[in-house]
């Protein structure tokens, strides 16, 4: 009996589309298309992802299958990818059409938390590059989730996914309606809510507790909103020196997560 190579049933069959076939562009705000080698390979490796279609140029397919041998992309010309993706997208010859990830509830995140756990909370951080970079750091330092508000937050787009470099497939991005209530719920679950604030008297290293910690970061410029600050257990700063008074929010998140993770 002939043996058949086992393939991932979530992937579409390999093949070249008929001559002249193009892919209709999609609204990037839905986050339907992922692109770039890191984002695509991470999504292919995520069993929670539902995949519609995988496209690649001949060169892109060669690089992709070297990383993910079970991937079976449709081989297309570069112009097909350029048409399907946002203008100027650095796709590296690969693109993946996916369903949005299911979002866990806050209660699920809390239930999964061990005695020592970290979650990241973003207070009106709207830049998808920053949110993606925060997700990447959260994945690197073992955070359970990144939480953002329903309003004044970054949409889950391909831009965000590419900036996350695979982090979106590892760390849940949870959206909540009311940030103040979320902070209170986390407190009841044993989380210390620490707001990162450049004007705080003490540094994070001087006072960050061990155990369960919710790290709260505000948008660049405005920082934490007054109500958010009031619902934090304590405020802390990073020990930056003049003339650089503050850091990009994603850089600040990476440094703070390292400080918390090493305890």
Domain that holds residue 141: 106-261
DSSP state of 15: B
Rg (CA), the chain: 21
73: left (phi over 0), alpha (psi -120 to 50) or beta: beta
Higher pLDDT, 7 or 94: 94
SS3 letters across 191-234: EEEEEECCCCCCEHHHHCCCCEEEEEEEECCCECCHHHHHCCCE
Rounded Cα distance, 63 and 29, in Å: 28
Give domain status of residue 1, yes or no. Answer: no
Q: Are residues 173 and 206 in the same domain?
A: yes
pLDDT at residue 253, rounded to an integer: 97
* pLDDT higher than threshold 90 for residue 144: yes
- pLDDT of 63 above 90: yes
CA nearest neighbour of 123 among 195, 194, 218: 218
Domain tally, the chain = 2
Residue 4 resides in a domain? no
DSSP H/E element including 129: helix 128-140
Q: For position 53, what pLDDT does the model report?
A: 93
Same domain, 61 and 145: no
**Co-location of 175 and 229 in the same domain:** yes
Q: Is residue 155 part of a domain?
A: yes
Domain holding 82: CATH number?
3.30.1330
- Same domain for 125 and 94: no
My answer on whether 72 and 167 are in the same domain is: no
């Amino acid at each position: 009996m002939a043996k058949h190579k086992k393939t991932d049933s979530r992937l579409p069959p390999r093949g070249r589309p008929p001559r002249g076939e193009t892919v209709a562009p999609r609204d990037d705000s839905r986050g339907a298309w992922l692109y770039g080698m890191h984002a695509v390979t991470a999504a292919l490796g995520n069993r929670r992802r539902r995949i519609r279609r995988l496209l690649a140029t001949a060169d892109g397919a060669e690089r992709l299958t070297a990383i993910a041998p079970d991937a079976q992309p449709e081989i297309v010309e570069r112009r097909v990818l350029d048409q399907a993706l946002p203008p100027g997208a650095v796709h590296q010859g690969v693109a993946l059409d996916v369903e949005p990830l299911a979002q866990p509830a806050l209660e699920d995140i809390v239930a999964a938390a061990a005695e020592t756990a970290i979650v990241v909370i973003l207070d009106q951080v709207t830049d998808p590059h920053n949110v993606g970079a925060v997700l990447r750091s959260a994945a690197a330092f073992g955070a359970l989730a990144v939480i953002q508000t329903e309003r004044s937050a970054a949409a889950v787009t391909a831009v965000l996914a590419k900036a996350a470099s695979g982090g979106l497939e590892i760390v849940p991005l949870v959206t909540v309606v009311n940030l103040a209530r979320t902070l209170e719920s986390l407190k009841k679950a044993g989380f210390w809510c620490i707001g990162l604030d450049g004007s705080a008297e003490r540094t994070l290293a001087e006072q960050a507790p061990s155990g369960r910690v919710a790290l709260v970061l505000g948008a660049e410029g405005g920082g934490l909103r007054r109500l958010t600050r009031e619902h934090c257990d304590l405020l802390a700063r990073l020990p930056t020196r003049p003339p650089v008074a503050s850091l990009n929010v994603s850089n600040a998140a990476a440094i703070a997560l390292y400080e918390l993770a090493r305890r």
